[in-house]
Amino acid sequence: MSNVSRRNLICAASVGVVGPLVIDDAASAAGRAVIAVADVPVGGGVVVTRRGVVVTQPRRGRFRVFSATCTHAGCTVASVVARRINCPCHGSKFAISDGSAVAGPAEAPLPQRSFKIRRGKLYLT
C-alpha cells in the first residue's frame, strides 16, 4: 500500500465535493525568508522561482521585488542581465528599478510585491 500525504488526500477529496483545492504557494511564502540580501548583486537581481519572484538591487541598499510571471504570456522570467529582467518565451525585458516593460511584446510592468528586510534576509509580506 502506498503512503498518501494528508495534502494529497485533502486535494483528492475536494475534487469530488467542490472541485480542485488550490493551494497558493505565493501566499504561504509570506513570512519565510526569500533570499539573503548579500546574494542579490548591485545593478542586477535574482529570480527566485520557488517563491515566484524576482529580487533586484538597482542601487546599493535599494531592493525591489516583482512577480516572476511575465505580463505578456505568463511565462516565468529566467534571468537578470545588464539591468534587465528577461523572459525567455518571447524576449520581453523589464527594468530592474520599477518592473516596467522596456522591450516587447510585454507592455504591462511586472507587478511589485511587498517585502521587508530583517537580519540580512528579505521576506515577502
Please state the domain count of the chain: 1
Question: Each residue of 69-101: pLDDT tens digit?
Answer: 999 998 999 999 999 999 999 999 999 999 999
Q: Which range marks the domain in which residue 65 is found?
A: 25-124
Residue 113 lies in a domain: yes
Q: Would the pTM count as exceeding 0.85?
A: no
Domain CATH for 75: 2.102.10.10
Chain length of the chain: 125
Residue 13 lies in a domain: no
